[in-house]
Structure 1
Amino acid sequence: KPLPRLPVPDLHNTLDRYLRLIAPVVSKEDFERTKLLVEEFGKSGGEGEELQNLLKQYAKTKISW
């Protein structure tokens, strides 16, 4: 019996997690610059949303291992 497919993680949860994880290890300036880039990437209708939709489509059609 095949294992169930894992869901593609939510984009905004992933971006929030990324920012939380890098905060302790980068300078305040680097964090603020990265935060702006992450916010731009995660905007509705933006590049992140487009890539997320492509990833979801890919996940529906591909089997890992």
Structure 2
Amino acid sequence: MSHPEGSKIIMSLADMFREEGKELGKKEMEEILVKNSIKKGLDPHIIEEITGLSKEEIQKIASNVKE
């Protein structure tokens, strides 16, 4: 017996999880970029321009950087 409604729900959930994964991956890459830029001594204003992140977001990530 086929359940088309169930299939739609499963596909919707799969799409939702896929989008969540993309967003998490993007955030991880942004953090890596910011951390590496800070370690290399790049000016925070330049990091803002490159990433599009706010000064506050960059400072939050920077507070977790270990030299």
User: What is the TM-score of this pair, normalised by structure 2?
Assistant: 0.28
User: What is the TM-score of this pair, normalised by structure 1?
Assistant: 0.29
Higher relative contact order (CA 8 A, sep 6+): 1
Structure (1 or 2) with the greater helix fraction: 2
